[in-house]
Amino acid sequence: MSTIPNLEIVIDTCFGRDTVITLSGGTQLVFNRCEYLELKDCIEISEIANPQDALANNLTTMEERGQALASCGMIGLSINPDCTNQVCFIHR
């Protein structure tokens, strides 16, 4: 007679699985699959492909004389205000 106890085996369906999002300009973002599915409605991603996009998204830097510099090749990430209690977004 076997005395092996019943074991509950939990398989992590997220381990090693990624979601790749390709934005309109070709930028690719890689997220953990489960984290992305949990948070996708909480974030808005914008692609900053040119100086006009940078200015429109308030992504500017200043040079030494205080003149605004518009950069590109970045992404903008906005968090939905209803999601600020998500563990991922809590400021500590």
- What's the DSSP call for residue 81? G
| 8 A C-beta contact, residue 79 and residue 43 | yes
The pLDDT, as a whole number, for residue 92 is 52
The one-letter amino acid at 49: A
Interval 2-29: pLDDT, tens: 455 555 555 566 667 788 888 888 888 8
Interval 71-87: pLDDT, tens: 667 788 888 888 877 77
Interval 33-60: pLDDT, tens: 888 888 888 888 888 888 788 778 777 7
The pLDDT, as a whole number, for residue 23 is 84
Among 51, 88, 89, which residue's Cα sits nearest to residue 73? 51
| 8 A C-beta contact, residue 68 and residue 62 | yes
Among 4, 92, 86, 90, which residue's Cα sits nearest to residue 37? 86
